Structure 1
């Protein structure tokens, strides 16, 4: 299929077209007036009518952030983007297309992430038309095309990454995921002459059937991570305490040192208010 690209259509100021229209109207009135006296003026009346109709049909306006695509005899004849009053080929069909920024909010899609867990995901895609010829002639309906391709890109992205993990994940790297989603959607929509300004996830959650189980899993992982941090900190504190006693000239034998380490670890790691009896042993053997 031959690719169609946008190019400017031939057009002049609508005021020039209006001036010609006024001349054609004057001609029409003059021919009509003389036709009542002389039938031969019919040859003036017919072209005057045709000129008036064609000149009137060629006038149109373009509002800001919109364009008119001209189609003449089944062929693309160019695009008028400049806001204002214009005159162009009166026999060409003119199709209006918006150049404003549009939002597409996807539905909540259910898809499996990279670990096979069912999740719900949704996104918003901000886009605008940058090539009117592609938007009208390369695809059947560019807005429906944006919706379908955006949802396909969201599904593909969600299946490549886990919902939550130590590495790159949908939940843990929102900015990077948004940039990757934008690039993928833009690549898919290039054929329709659409530019993607932003693409961002608006909803991300586990599917209801696994939400409770995954929540418990997350809580368990959080508890394990917290315990690990507490133990690491307690070990450091015990090491500092033993080093402090050694530096103060209060050495402990191995048995008393082990008992002290045990009691300190219990006191520091226990969630309850522990009240251990710390037996430091004798200072001299």
Structure 2
């Protein structure tokens, strides 16, 4: 008799839900990715995270995108504001005009008969009939006097390393870099500028090191005015602007205390120089170097950092002493056992090491070494 047995498939475990959590504030997480029976690698496609809307606000979900830092734009000024040479004349022209004006006034006085007799005799002039001071004489006085004032009033002396920025009614008219005796239009406003190579030692400025500890830094800046028009007209005060550029650069660049690696100090100086050059060249300033010459802790953290440095030196000294004592004990025990002077078991070896360590430490403490 043949019995046919039908194999009924055993019921599998409870069906796993397709999703573990799904709501407005979370992303869908398939359960089979959390509890897998096979050990094969799992490839999960990455999707941008979704920020859920807040309840009751009606705000729609939005993608969370990574922050993009845009490069800081360089400062710009009026492109037409560029230094150009001003029109000036040699000083001899002003001297000649002044002499002509003085001679004209003298001649008018003789013509009007108001020139003193002593002056007439000294100059050997003929006696004038004396026409008197009429409208014609006053007009001659005015013309001669104006010529003399314009000629003598426009005389100026140009010096090496100095320049004048000229302006008329608020408009830039040019720059004078020539030296010697010159004649400049007396109606123009003159502003003197020092164009020599200059160095500026700053006052203590706030800064920080790589760990964020507050510092006070004194920097040495070597610079000069390259474009006088921009230096005087693009900013209110180019020296104050340079000082603020240096302070802003120190706030962005970590500065190391003296005694650090030379490479880090040089790198900080190069970074400071690059940042200040970038900000200062737009206003006609040429910066050659920005170097920290003195670095110290800020007053509020100076005492704490001093105690920290003393503690670090003390810990380093203790570690050095301990290393020296351990080496001495090891050398002593090795010599005693190798030469066969003593035979020690483990207990005796440990006791000897302990006694020698105490003795060596006590000896170094008494000698201060």
- TM (norm. structure 1) is 0.70
Compared CA separation, residues 71 and 163, structure 1 to 2 (3 A): same
| Runs (5+) with no aligned partner, structure 2 | 1-76, 113-129, 365-369
Deviates more, 1:41-50 or 1:89-98: 41-50
Choose from 105, 122, 125 the match for 2:202.
105
1:76 and 2:153 matched: no
Structure number with greater Rg is 2
| 8 Å CA contact 2:256, 2:264 repeated in 1 | no
The number of aligned residues is 266
| 8 Å CA contact 1:5, 1:134 repeated in 2 | yes
Supply the RMSD in Å over aligned alpha carbons: 4.1
| 8 Å CA contact 2:102, 2:148 repeated in 1 | yes
Compared CA separation, residues 229 and 176, structure 1 to 2 (3 A): farther
- Taking the aligned partners of 2:350 and 2:148, their CA distance within structure 1 comes to 109
Compared CA separation, residues 250 and 200, structure 1 to 2 (3 A): same
Choose from 219, 232, 239 the match for 1:136.
232
Q: How does 1:57-72 map to 2 (within 5 A)?
A: 57-72=153-168
- Taking the aligned partners of 1:71 and 1:173, their CA distance within structure 2 comes to 47
Choose from 268, 272, 282 the match for 2:362.
272
1:211 and 2:302 matched: yes
1:187 and 2:263 matched: no
Which structure carries more relative contact order (alpha carbon 8 Å, separation 6+)?
Answer: 1
Choose from 10, 22, 25 the match for 2:102.
25
Compared CA separation, residues 68 and 208, structure 1 to 2 (3 A): closer
- Taking the aligned partners of 1:70 and 1:32, their CA distance within structure 2 comes to 37
Higher normalized strand content (fraction of residues): 1
- TM (norm. structure 2) is 0.57
- Taking the aligned partners of 1:80 and 1:166, their CA distance within structure 2 comes to 48
Compared CA separation, residues 165 and 22, structure 1 to 2 (3 A): closer
Higher normalized helix content (fraction of residues): 1
